[in-house]
Amino acid sequence: MSNFNLRVYGIILNSKNEVLVSDERRHGVSMTKFPGGGLMWGEGHKETLIREIKEEMNLDAEIGEFFYVNDFFQQSAYRENDQLFTFYYRVSKIDIDAIPVSAHAIPLTEEGEKFRWVPISDLNEDMFTFPIDKIVGSRLTHN
């Protein structure tokens, strides 16, 4: 049986023209992506991103303008019968200074999630794990 998997991610920028990225290790697999996650039954896109930011960073956020959605087939890297639709929104309000960023080794070697700022001018496709994040990173550098 084929399923649709809806994902929602945040573009969080600081005053230094840096974007927040998430380095994660889940079930022995390391990845670099934008903060966010999966839409749950009964949620809209913005509600999903608000919940994910609360879960991941313990922060409240307001979600701003829509940034990108993939308009092509993307199979899930983890579930071969899932087709991904991935939505990205700019985060319009968040306590930037309270975001739990750290200096850490990449890729992560222990299970969990850590955040870091990356100058937009330093973004490149190779730093992201997933194909749609690579496109979004490229769009940020040309925006």
pLDDT per residue over 21-77, tens digit each?
999 998 888 999 999 999 999 999 999 999 999 999 999 999 999 999 999 887 877
Whether the CB-CB separation of 49 and 106 falls below 8 Å is answered with no
d(CA 143, CA 95): 24
Ordered by start, the domain boundaries in the chain are 3-141
- Check residues 123 and 79 and name the one with the higher pLDDT: 123
- Exposure letters 55-68 (e unless 16+ CB within 10 A, then b): ebbebebebeeebb
- At residue 84, the pLDDT reads 85
User: What is the residue whose two structure tokens read 């609360």?
Assistant: 54
Q: Is the pLDDT of residue 96 over 70?
A: yes
Superfamily per CATH, domain 3-141: Nucleoside Triphosphate Pyrophosphohydrolase (3.90.79.10)
Q: What is the pTM of this model?
A: 0.93
Closest CA to 12 of 22, 2, 25: 22
Q: Is the pLDDT of residue 92 over 70?
A: yes
Q: Is the pLDDT of residue 1 over 70?
A: no
- At residue 5, the pLDDT reads 86
CA 13 to chain centre: 12
- At residue 2, the pLDDT reads 77
- Strands (DSSP E) contained in the chain are 3-11, 18-26, 29-33, 36-38, 61-69, 82-94, 112-119
- How many CB atoms within 10 Å of residue 124? 11
